[in-house]
Amino acid sequence: MSKSLDQAKAGDLVTINGHQLGDHGRLGEILEVLGEPGHVRLRVRWEDDRETIFFPGSDASIRPAGQGR
């Protein structure tokens, strides 16, 4: 079950699909939700332990916390 970007909260997981054949998707934990509904930005810790401010696009989906990696 996925959530809309405007429903994202700290602790949820964000996944991004690969864009080309052979690309791997990305998975990260949302640390903080920034911005306002319709203009959401996320502070994310990715699987490689890097943290970024992420501007989610249509290829991003949000899974509620506790659904595992």
Strand ranges, E, within 1-69:
13-16, 26-36, 39-46, 51-54, 60-63
**Domain range for residue 57?**
5-63
Q: Which pTM does this prediction carry?
A: 0.83
Could you tell me if 69 and 15 are in contact, meaning their C-beta atoms sit under 8 angstroms apart? no
**Structural domain includes residue 33:** yes
- For the stretch 50-68, pLDDT in tens is 999 999 888 899 999 876 5
Looking at residue 2, its amino acid is S
Q: What is the largest CA-CA distance in the chain?
A: 34
pLDDT band at residue 11, thresholds of 50, 70 and 90? very high
Chain centroid to Cα 29, Å, comes to 7
| Overall number of domains in the chain | 1
> Does the residue 69 lie in any domain?
no
Amino acid sitting at position 50: R
Query: What CATH number is attached to the domain comprising 12?
Result: 2.30.30
Which tens digit of pLDDT belongs to each residue from 18-58? 777 777 889 999 999 998 888 889 999 999 999 999 998 88
Lookup: tokens for 29: 């934990």
